[in-house]
Structure 1
Amino acid sequence: MSYVPAHLLLEAAAAIRGAHALTVVTLPALLREARRTQVDPTTAQIPYGGGVEEQYLKDFFELPGAPDPHRPYRAIWSDDTPWQTRKFPGGGLQRQRGQRAGRGEVLIQRKPAQTGLPGDVWGLTPTAGADLLAETKKSVRLIDLALWIGRNVDTSAIDPAILSAAGLGPGAEEIDKLDAWFKHEFRPQHGDLVGTIFQDDIPAEYRTVPFAADPVSDETYQQLGALPPAPTVTDDLSTVITSLERRVTAKGFQLPLGLVERVLTAWLRGDMVVLVGQPGTGKTLFATLLGSAMEQEFDLDAPLLIPVRADFDEAELIGYERLDGTVHLQDFARHILLDDAPLEARVVIFEEFNLASVETYLSAVLVATQERERLVRLPNGEVANLPIDTFVLATCNSFRDEPETRTRVSSPTKRRSTTITMPNVLGDRYEDDPDTAVTGVIGNLIANERKRVEDRENAGRASQFDSLRLTALRSVSGSANFSAQAQQALVSVANAVLETASGRSWFTLGILRDIVMALVMAERDAGAELTALGHAVADKLVHQLRGTHSDAQPLLAASATLPNAEEIGRLIDQMMAGPSDELLPLL
């Protein structure tokens, strides 16, 4: 096999640059159609129009990986618009043809009213080549067109009859074979075209470059402005899910069954994923761990984390125009919408998704997800494309639970989303096995926290107080390292909350982690540990309480042996001081 080498293809594209579109597109397309219909276009006209030119552009100028799906045609003749739209042959190019035909130059156009045929017919004036050259001042070598148009032709497989008709024998050079093939397919020797707008010489340096054993590579297309192809995921979906689960659980996360699969399949069908749940159910931790797992598994850029504030709007997400007329683009626009590798996947995490009205800042993106071209307009008026594999993972708390700080999510947004309620792993464990629900996770909570701090230390990023944290964390490995009194009190307090239905909804691993860490930081002494536990109940647990007065009674009873039982009782009494049976929040 023998194909156009990359060096010659790039040389040909450079040589054609600056030519007129009529020279590179219209004339060859018309000649090919004339050859197909066996008509001399300088003596007769043939049915012709934008459709023929569009097919010619599709065949030879539509490159894989065009940076803009609206502009698929690589216009090697143009510096101003190196990529042309699909409307080009039926719009701009058609107008140029019509203008010249109207002046009686280069092209002849005859309307159906003149011919009785269903469409326009076109031909060439006898002086088409000279007329176009006088206007454009730029001729094109036929061999350069042959190298571009025949870049995927195996010259060793060209019909010997074509070569024989061109006077080429078995030992002909590959470039001469390609030249013969092109002239057979396009028949440029009509009128005065050759010798004016087309030149029929082959530069001597072209003959010194050997042809290649393979067709044009992706790397060569990238040099021509095409996008690099995205790495292909070769594993099946179940294997990918298993790999991601393994990476997430390796970080010590208590992964609910099927959660990764639900997220990934939602992404693949085009949804963004919204994680809803009580504080402490691991929404943010899971989002960051899954984003990191995707980064490692598929060699992606790091996830883009966008913290949403109450005043968040589209200017905060995409960008805005400054008073002096310059444009400031935010990370989402720079790293996602204008990504130089838009065929690759990116994970975007919106933290506290509904602190602001989602439609206020995300409406343009939501609309783009439903459009074929996925367009998003930037502040400077330019249009960007939302990459197909923009995987959005958002965390939020329920508007019903926190109407004072959260906004409702509209039906159109829900339509474009998969909303997953994060289960309360601790509550589920308690329902399955009340006796070990708490003690069974304490070791993992401590180990995860220790590893987090040790990782910072090993990476040379230990903070000023990490030494204090590590000293405490290395003093315990599980609940067995606490005093018997502290172990019993911790389980008693936790189970007192978990035995209520409301407690099983809000008492999460995150809250338990904070209480356990209070014990970890205490001295290894029963009195110090009980004091730390009592403070954690008063400072952390009581403020999470919700439900009715009866939901607070078990915690009040379980706290009776703690050193600050009186303080805890007083706080709970304040929560029960309202006019109804509902517990009043103290904050």
Structure 2
Amino acid sequence: MMSQGAVQLVDLALWFGRDKDVSALDLPADAPTDPLDRLVLWFRLEFNLDVADLIGTAYSNAVPSEYRVDDFEDTPIGIDTYEVLGSLPPAPTVGMDLRELVTSLEGRLRGGGYVLPPGLVRRVLTGWLRGDIVVLVGQPGTGKTMFATLIATALRDELDLDPPVVVAIRTDFDEAEFIGYERLDGTPELRPFAREILITESPLEAKILVLEEFNLASIETYMGSILVATQEKTRRVNIAGNTAGQLPIDTFILATCNSYRDEPETRTRVSSPTKRRSTVITMPNVLGDDYEDDPSNAVSSKVAKIIATAHADVAERINNSRPSQFDGIRQQALSSVTTPDDLSPEVRSLLGEISSAILQTSIGRSWFTMGLLRDVVLAIAHADRTAESEVRALGESVADKLLHQVRGSHSDVEELREVCGKLPNAASIAAMFDRMMDGPSDELLPLL
């Protein structure tokens, strides 16, 4: 006798087989040809229900006639249908607390040779957990882009997330470039952000979006609908082709940003509504901070890290059979420099004097960053291993890299000018200083 509370097998089969290609199911040769009957048979075999009297008591094998009116769709149901049915694919659970996750991520970043400012990882994660866009602001060379890349990769590896979506903002960016647009024939042309985040099949899983040079374009022009979605419960976003996507709850947006105050010619202001939705973190200048704490060892310890990281980067590509075309040249140059002690005493002394002359001023500690020191050290490392060649490479780096970043008042560069007089290209450096001081006020003029 059939139980009045029996569950219809066809309902379970339709749900559990919602993404199955019925024609490709592995069934006995005498299986029925009707798609619905084939799906029910697959479900019975898959879950081994043909035992005892399960079918006929707990389960009903009957298929209501109205179920046979509509044919199966050619593609599996999408995210919108899941939402209508009140069900979404579950997200994997993070099995650690915030402190443990921070510790693990910090270990991954430091393991890659990154000089990590204290507390930065936790500040970024806290901003994301409360739903903010995290904006990293700082001088060029403070490691904003490198940190964004490293933490996105570390999160992907630690939590088995999808690869981060990285978008390089341009001055002409608008919503069509960021999200997508409708072609003349009515079909949508979607950008990676829309394809991989807004219409994802797993909206409960975390997604990482990295925006490089966040304020090269007006943020509201290309991101206005996303800013609105961060504040709405539905988090719906209209995209091309008269369709809508959804901004997942854990869409972690990390943006790098150069100050409008420092670069008004090329950057746009960040509006108050955008700042309201953001955690804005000023990236510290690790080199300048360490110099204040330990002037005697700050530069030499960073030089050692720079050399070690350069070796590791090249070795990793070579060991993974992915060397670039010029990695052989890099490896040959670096093979003679494994520690700062492999450099001549003359160049080590002059590098220390030049660095101290810059870092002893407050304005110098703001612009002389790890990125600039790295460029100078690698230029020396690629020189011939003679004192003359190394000092010449240092002088060229001062002229090519450092003087174009110098700012402040005339008094801020007095000691630097004096030290540069010891370099082989002292005359050309002096001429560049004269041009910087050739203004009506005491402020230095930029060379570019």
CA contact 2:164–2:210 (8 Å) conserved in 1: yes
Residue aligning to 2:176: 315
What is the DSSP-based 3-state SS (H/G/I as helix, E as strand, rest coil) of the residue aligned with 2:385?
coil
Residue aligning to 1:585: 446
Q: Aligned ranges for residues 15-30 of structure 1 at < 5 Å? A: none
Q: Aligned ranges for residues 188-337 of structure 1 at < 5 Å? A: 227-337=88-198
Amino acid in structure 1 at the alignment position of 2:129: L
Is there any run of 5+ residues in structure 2 with no aligned partner, and where? 1-6, 19-39, 44-51, 68-81
Aligned residues: 400
How far is 1:378 from its partner?
0.7
Cα deviation digits, residues 222-256 of structure 1 (max 9, x gap): 9x995431110111111011001100110011111
Residue aligning to 2:228: 367
- Cα distance in structure 2, aligned partners of 1:407 and 1:478: 42
Q: Does 1:500 align with 2:361?
A: yes
- Cα distance in structure 1, aligned partners of 2:366 and 2:220: 29
Residue aligning to 2:337: 476
How far is 1:177 from its partner?
3.9
Residue aligning to 1:576: 437
How far is 1:505 from its partner?
0.5
Q: Aligned ranges for residues 4-153 of structure 1 at < 5 Å? A: 11-12=10-11
Amino acid in structure 1 at the alignment position of 2:421: A
Q: Does 1:565 align with 2:445?
A: no
Q: Greater CA radius of gyration, 1 or 2?
A: 1
Change (3 A) 1:9 1:420: farther
Greater relative contact order (Cα 8 A, min sep 6): structure 1 or 2?
Answer: 2
Is there any run of 5+ residues in structure 1 with no aligned partner, and where? 1-7, 16-62, 67-143, 148-171, 181-195, 200-220
- Cα distance in structure 1, aligned partners of 2:335 and 2:8: 65
Residue aligning to 1:69: none
Amino acid in structure 2 at the alignment position of 1:442: V
Change (3 A) 1:341 1:198: closer
Give the one of 225, 233, 241 matched to 1:380.
241
How far is 1:294 from its partner?
0.2
What is the DSSP-based 3-state SS (H/G/I as helix, E as strand, rest coil) of the residue aligned with 2:404?
helix
- Cα distance in structure 2, aligned partners of 1:394 and 1:245: 19
How far is 1:13 from its partner?
5.4
Q: Does 1:178 align with 2:61?
A: no
What is the DSSP-based 3-state SS (H/G/I as helix, E as strand, rest coil) of the residue aligned with 2:298?
coil
Change (3 A) 1:275 1:325: same
Cα deviation digits, residues 35-76 of structure 1 (max 9, x gap): xxxxxxxxxxxxxxxxxxxxxxxxxxxx99x9xxxxxxxxxx
- Cα distance in structure 1, aligned partners of 2:104 and 2:8: 42
CA contact 2:8–2:59 (8 Å) conserved in 1: no
- Cα distance in structure 2, aligned partners of 1:197 and 1:336: 40
Residue aligning to 1:99: none
What is the DSSP-based 3-state SS (H/G/I as helix, E as strand, rest coil) of the residue aligned with 1:391?
strand
- Cα distance in structure 1, aligned partners of 2:295 and 2:333: 28
How far is 1:175 from its partner?
4.0
Residue aligning to 2:216: 355
- Cα distance in structure 1, aligned partners of 2:188 and 2:171: 24
How far is 1:173 from its partner?
3.1
Change (3 A) 1:10 1:280: farther
Give the one of 366, 373, 378 matched to 1:517.
378
**Runs of 4+ residues deviating >6 angstroms:** 196-199
Change (3 A) 1:549 1:349: same
Task: Tell me the percent identity.
Answer: 56
What is the DSSP-based 3-state SS (H/G/I as helix, E as strand, rest coil) of the residue aligned with 2:167?
strand
Cα deviation digits, residues 283-303 of structure 1 (max 9, x gap): 000000000000000011111
What is the DSSP-based 3-state SS (H/G/I as helix, E as strand, rest coil) of the residue aligned with 1:325?
coil
Give the one of 425, 428, 443 matched to 2:304.
443
- Cα distance in structure 1, aligned partners of 2:374 and 2:59: 75
CA contact 2:9–2:59 (8 Å) conserved in 1: no
Moved more, 289-298 or 225-234: 225-234
Residue aligning to 2:33: none
Cα deviation digits, residues 440-477 of structure 1 (max 9, x gap): 11111011112112222222221221111111112112
Give the one of 306, 310, 319 matched to 1:458.
319
Residue aligning to 1:485: 346
How high is the TM-score relative to the length of structure 1?
0.64
How high is the TM-score relative to the length of structure 2?
0.84
Cα deviation digits, residues 513-548 of structure 1 (max 9, x gap): 000011001011000000000000011000000111
CA contact 2:354–2:419 (8 Å) conserved in 1: yes
How far is 1:10 from its partner?
5.8
How far is 1:364 from its partner?
0.7
Residue aligning to 2:417: 556
Cα deviation digits, residues 136-177 of structure 1 (max 9, x gap): xxxxxxxx9xx9xxxxxxxxxxxxxxxxxxxxxxxx934444
- Cα distance in structure 1, aligned partners of 2:400 and 2:65: 86
Q: Does 1:426 align with 2:425?
A: no
- Cα distance in structure 2, aligned partners of 1:367 and 1:375: 9
- Cα distance in structure 1, aligned partners of 2:435 and 2:8: 82
